[in-house]
Amino acid sequence: MEQVIVLEWLFSPPNYFEQTIELTRREYTLRIESGKVEARVDSLAYDANPNYRLALHESLNDRFLAIQVFTHRTYNLSKPTMYRLHPDGRRDVTVFLEGVQIKAIAGSLDVLVKDTYGNIITDTKKDRIEKNEQVANLAEKYCKTDQVLAALLNSYAAAVRDPDNELVHLYEIREAVSQKFGNESSARDALRVNRSDMSRLRQLANDEPLNQGRHRGKKVGNLRDATEVELNEARFIARLIVDRYLTWLDKNG
């Protein structure tokens, strides 16, 4: 057995990915399962790059950020512990302290529909898991090279962490793609997002007298909290923009 570097992370909630994920890359393998991540890295590649651990951590976190857009769930991902596994089985252990805050919130109701012969017609859990895997793979692939994608994921993460300013952060997603493509009209055309969706996000963030919105100072005395329906509308539109941008990147990136 050759010498191997093993990096391990803990995360919560432990069902964040809903299934075991195994990835094989040129220099490492990665396994995500039940609140734990393990990466086994070629020791020569790891030792040759002093930033390898940080780069791998950021790449892993990109997967979490991408999933967060489609689940609106906060997460806690630790910094990795590390040990060097020698051919004789000895372990040299290194521990990296600190973690990223976060708390978990509500899940979703799944629907499984079968016909009279037992064939599955609708399986929302299976569809969601497949979608999440797709967006996580795309985020990992493009996030380090595309600043706009990184900004979109970080804005959505801020919306989850900072609910008092949620609409402010979600509107940043609309602004980022408008700037990327020159203006909102060009962004809508490139991403195939309806004018009505963009307008509704702008209305919720800018025009409605909402405590979570962008222009609260202009509506002092008339503010109210956004309803759950309004927040879900804004989240859906922001999520749609991110999803369409990932699709655009994969075709044009």
Joined together, the tokens standing for residue 100 give 């990223």
What pLDDT is attached to residue 116? 57
pLDDT level of residue 3 (50, 70, 90 thresholds): confident
Q: pLDDT for 24-65, tens place per residue?
A: 998 999 999 999 999 999 999 999 998 999 999 999 999 999
To which H or E segment does residue 91 belong? strand 91-95
Instruction: Tell me the CB-side half-sphere exposure of residue 87, using CA atoms within 13 A.
Output: 2
What pLDDT is attached to residue 96? 55
3-state secondary structure 36-65: EEEEEEEHHHHHHCCCHHHHHHHHHHHHHH
Q: Name which of 236, 237, 149, 229 is nearest 193 in CA terms.
A: 237
Joined together, the tokens standing for residue 4 give 């191997």
Q: Work out the average pLDDT over 118-126.
A: 69
Is a pLDDT exceeding 80 seen at residue 252?
A: yes
Q: Work out the average pLDDT over 144-164.
A: 95
Is a pLDDT exceeding 90 seen at residue 110?
A: no
To which H or E segment does residue 229 belong? helix 228-252
Q: pLDDT for 199-232, tens place per residue?
A: 999 999 999 999 999 987 676 678 899 999 999 9
Is a pLDDT exceeding 70 seen at residue 157?
A: yes
Q: What are phi and psi of 249, to 5 degrees?
A: -60, -40
What pLDDT is attached to residue 217? 65
Of residues 178 and 120, which shows the higher confidence score?
178
- Cα–Cα distance for residue pair 69/64, rounded to 1 Å: 9
Query: Which residues have C-beta within 8 Å of that of residue 5, sequence separation ≥ 6?
Result: 40, 41, 42, 43, 46, 82, 83, 84, 85
In the three-class reduction of DSSP (H, G, I as helix; E, B as strand; rest coil), residue 111 is classed as coil
Residues facing 78 on adjacent strands: 99
Joined together, the tokens standing for residue 186 give 């060009």
What pLDDT is attached to residue 119? 66
Is a pLDDT exceeding 60 seen at residue 102?
A: no
What pLDDT is attached to residue 115? 55
What pLDDT is attached to residue 62? 94
Q: Name which of 100, 89, 101 is nearest 6 in CA terms.
A: 89
Is a pLDDT exceeding 80 seen at residue 92?
A: no
- What one-letter code names the amino acid at 243? D
